[in-house]
Amino acid sequence: MKRKLLVYSKSSSSIDLVGWPNEYIGFKLIEYKPGFGNFSRYGLSWKVNFLWYLFSRGNFSILILMDEKLVVHYSYLTPKVFRFPFMRKGDVQVGPCVTHASFRGKGVFSKVLELVPLLYPRSETIWTYTTEDDIAAQKAFKNAGYSFITFAEMSLRTKIVRLIK
């Protein structure tokens, strides 16, 4: 079984931010890098974070927007791993991404997508994907300047994403 996806990308920014911003669009901005003894602080679960840690050899992070103690949004940022054979070394893949229900429809996800190329200027290409029925994500990608590249299929068993040519 396979799931059909839409793949988007954006070239990295030539603008390099000076230092990591503490706040972004009115929220505290955190780059969380899970590691041994610290897999469960943010994100989907400690198991997911542990697997991404193994797959990426510790090279992934989670971009988090906080409002007080509430996680407003998080996006996983991963390098080329076996799941994304179409990526090149130096590329970044954005996802999974989750925005808290009370902040959806307010442009938070689009703003985070705009920020990623600025935070990772040494990346060649920023990749992301969504399902055909996720219209909100498709709008967010377009609003953030990402371009539709092609369709892909993801194996539901292995989770490997392959571009359809």
For 75-113, what is each residue's pLDDT tens digit? 999 999 999 999 999 999 999 999 999 999 999 999 999
* pTM score of the predicted model: 0.90
Instruction: Give the DSSP letter of residue 45.
Output: -
- What are 31's two structure tokens? 């780059």
Exposure string over 74-97, b if 16+ CB within 10 A, otherwise e: bbbbbbbbebbebbeeebbbbeeb
Which domains are assigned to the chain?
2-163 (3.40.630.30)
Are 163 and 84 spatial neighbours (Cβ–Cβ below 8 Å)? no
Report the alpha-carbon distance of residue 105 to residue 88 in Å, rounded. 32
